[in-house]
Amino acid sequence: MVPTTGLEPVRCYSLEPESSASANSATWANLTNNNLRNFQKIVVRPFCAAILCGLIFLGMETKESIAEKTTASPKVSGPKWRSFPKVPNLLQYVSTGLFYARVQVNGKNIRKSLKAKTWSTAKLRLQDFLNRQVTAPPDVEALPFAAAVQTYEASLKIETTIKESSKQFRRWCIATLKKSWPELWKRNIEEVTEDECKAWGSRMHNQFGAQYYNNIIGTLKLILDAGIAQYVGLGGTRFQNQAKVLSRARPGKKDLVLPEKPDFLKLVAAIARQPGNLGSHLANQLEFLACSGMRAFSEAGWVTWEDVNLQREEIVVRGDPETGTKNSEIRRIPIIPDMLNLLVRLQNEKHPTGRVLKIERCGVRLRLACREIGIPPITLHDLRHLFATRCIESGVDIPTVSRWLGHKDGGALAMKTYGHLRNEHSKAMAKKVVF
C-alpha cells in the first residue's frame, strides 16, 4: 500500500504527440487548461493587485496638500508673479518657483526673497520677516533737541541715586554745551550728524581738561539717549545716538609740586599778614586742610566741635548734612601733633561751639601769596595731596593713608598718585641700614 501524504501527486506532461489523434487532442486540452490556471495565479493576479494599489495611492491626499490647496488658492497676478489672496504678503516668482515677502512701510513697498520654494517653509519665513519690520506712523513729529534737554532735566531732578552737587555739575555741563553749540537748540535730534558731533568735540577738547571734557560729552550722550527714548515712545523709529562717536579723553597725570615744610610755614605767614580778620582766618584754614587731608568744601567746612575728640585724638568726618561725604561714608582721622596745636589755639580764641572753621574760597589770595614767597601756585585741593605726601614720607603705609583720605579702593588710587614717594622713602631708609 502506498502511504498518503495529503499532497497531490506530481503530474508530468509530455510535449511529444501520441500516436492517435484522440489522445493528442485530450492531452493538449489538459495542458492548456493547467497552464492558464498557473498563469493566472503567477502573473495576472499579482499584476491586478499592483495596479489597484497604485490607483489607491494616487487617489490619496495628505492633510498638508489639502490645506495648501484650500489656503493658498493661488492666483496669477501677472506673467511673472503669483499672489495668494488669503496670504496677502506672499508672492511667488513663476519662472523660478521662489517665494517672496511683500510689505509696505511708511508708504514704501518692500519686496524680499524668502529663499524658499516650498509653501510651508515660505510661510514660516514670511512670519519671521514681518516680525522684524519696524513700522512708524507717518504722522510722528520730529523731536526738538530743546525738548530732549527738558526731558533729561526732569529725570535728573527726580533721580535719587545722584547727589545734589552732582546734579548741579550736570546742569553746568548743559549750560556749557549750550554756550559752545547754541545752534543745537534749534535743531531736531534726528538731524544731528556724527560729523557735527566730532567737530564740536574737537573744539571742546582743546578748550577744557580731560575731566571736564569727559563730563560734558557724557551729558550730551545722556540728553540724546533721553530724546531717542522719548521719540520711540511716541511711535518713531529708533536710531543710533550720534554722540557715541565721541571717545573719552585720557586724563594726564598731574605733576605735583608741593611746598616743603619751611615754604608752607612762609605761605601761612604771608596769608596771615593780609589786612583784616580774613587773613588770620584763611591762615587757620590752610593749616586745618593741610593737617587733616579733608576735602575742602564737602567735608572740612562741616566739621563741628562735637566731631572733635581730643581725648581719643580723632576727628569724625561726616560731610554735608544732606549729601554726606563723597562716598557717603563716615570716617575717622587721627589728630596729628600739628593739628592738635591748631585746635587748642582755636579753642582759646573763641568758644568752641558749632563749626570749627568756615571754609572760604581764596584762590586769588593764595596765588598772590605763593608769588610773594616765590613758590609754584597751589590750590586748596593740593593741601589734601600735601597731607598724604607728608604721611607717606613719615612712614605711614599707603592703605592706611587711603583710609584717612576716604578712598574706597583699598589704596589703588593712592598708590597710583603717591607710589613714587613710597619708593623714594624706601631708598632713603635703605641707606640707613648698616651691617
Least confident of 21-30, 277-286, 406-415: 21-30
378-415 b/e (C-beta count within 10 Å ≥ 16 → b): bebebbbbbbbbbbbeeebebeebbbbbbbeeebeebb
C-alpha cell at 4: 498518503
Task: Kindly state the cell numbers that stand for 41.
Answer: 495565479
Q: What's the whole-number average pLDDT of the chain?
A: 81
C-alpha cell at 421: 614717594
Instruction: Match domain 261-430 to its CATH number in 1.20.1250.20, 3.30.1330.200, 3.90.1150.10, 1.10.443.10.
Output: 1.10.443.10
64 band by pLDDT with thresholds 50, 70 and 90 = very low
Predicted confidence (pLDDT) at residue 21 exceeds the cutoff of 60: no
What is the pLDDT confidence band of residue 54, given thresholds at 50, 70 and 90?
low
For residues 26-36, give the mean pLDDT. 55
Q: What is the C-alpha to C-alpha distance for residues 345 and 383, in angstroms, rounded to an integer?
A: 20
Question: What confidence tens digit (pLDDT) does each residue in 139-152 have?
Answer: 568 899 999 999 99
Question: What distance in Å separates the CA atoms of residue 304 and residue 355, rounded to the nearest whole number?
Answer: 4
Predicted pLDDT of residue 76 = 45
Residue located via cell numbers 514704501: 108
Number of other residues whose CB lies within 10 A of the CB of residue 304: 13
Question: Could you tell me where in the chain the CATH 1.10.150 domains are found?
Answer: 145-245
pLDDT number for residue 371: 93
Give CATH 1.10.443.10 domain extents, the chain.
261-430
And the C-alpha cell for 282? 584763611
Question: Whole-angstrom Cα distance, residue 311 to residue 404?
Answer: 19
Non-local CB neighbours of 74 within 8 Å, separated by 6+ positions: 82, 83, 84, 92
Query: Stretch 199-219: mean pLDDT, rounded?
Result: 93
Ranking 25-29, 66-70, 279-283, 315-319 by mean pLDDT, the lowest is 66-70
Compute the average pLDDT of residues 58-78. Answer: 48
With CA atoms as reference, report the closest residue to 299 among 338, 331, 336: 331
Which of the two residues, 432 and 400, has the higher pLDDT score?
A: 400
Confidence of residue 8 (pLDDT cuts 50, 70, 90): very low
Residue 211 has pLDDT above 80, yes or no: yes
Architecture of 145-245 per CATH? Orthogonal Bundle (1.10)
For residue 326, the model assigns a pLDDT of: 80
- From the list 163, 170, 160, the residue with the least C-alpha distance to 325 is 163
pLDDT tens digits, one per residue of 122-137: 888 888 888 776 544 4
The CA distance from 361 to 381, in Å, is 11
Among candidates 161, 154, 173, which has minimal Cα distance to 323? 161
Q: Rounded mean pLDDT of 203-220?
A: 93
pLDDT at residue 156, as a whole number: 93
Instruction: Answer yes or no: is pLDDT of 231 > 80.
Output: yes
User: Using 50, 70 and 90 to split pLDDT, how confident is the model at 7?
Assistant: very low
Q: Are 111 and 91 in contact (CB under 8 A)?
A: yes
What three-state secondary structure class fits 109? strand
d(CA 50, CA 241): 72
Q: How far apart are CA 431 and CA 332, in angstroms?
A: 34
Residue 288 has pLDDT above 80, yes or no: yes
Name the band, by pLDDT with cuts 50, 70 and 90, for residue 252.
confident
Closest by Cα among 297, 273, 302 to 383 = 297
pLDDT greater than 90 at residue 43: no
- Radius of gyration (C-alpha) of the chain in whole angstroms: 48
pLDDT in tens, 172-188: 999 999 999 999 999 99
| 3-class SS letters over 40-93 | HHHHHHHHHHHHHHHHHHHHCCCHHHHHHHHHHCCEECCCCEEECCCCCCEEEE
pLDDT number for residue 30: 55
First to last CA, the chain: 135
pLDDT digits 0-9 by tens, 291-314:
999 999 889 999 999 999 999 999
Confidence of residue 404 (pLDDT cuts 50, 70, 90): very high
What the block records as the C-alpha cell of 322 is 544732606
- Give 274-283 pLDDT, tens digit per residue: 877 788 889 9
Residues of the chain with pLDDT > 90, as a percent, come to 38
At residue 60, the pLDDT reads: 52
Instruction: State residue 12's pLDDT score.
Output: 43
pLDDT of the residue at 69? 46
Sorting pLDDT into bands at 50, 70 and 90, what band is 430?
A: confident
Looking at per-residue pLDDT, the higher value among 59 and 306 belongs to 306
Which pLDDT score, from 0 to 100, does residue 11 have? 46
Q: Give residue 119's Cα distance to chain centre.
A: 41
Question: 331: which strand partners?
Answer: 317
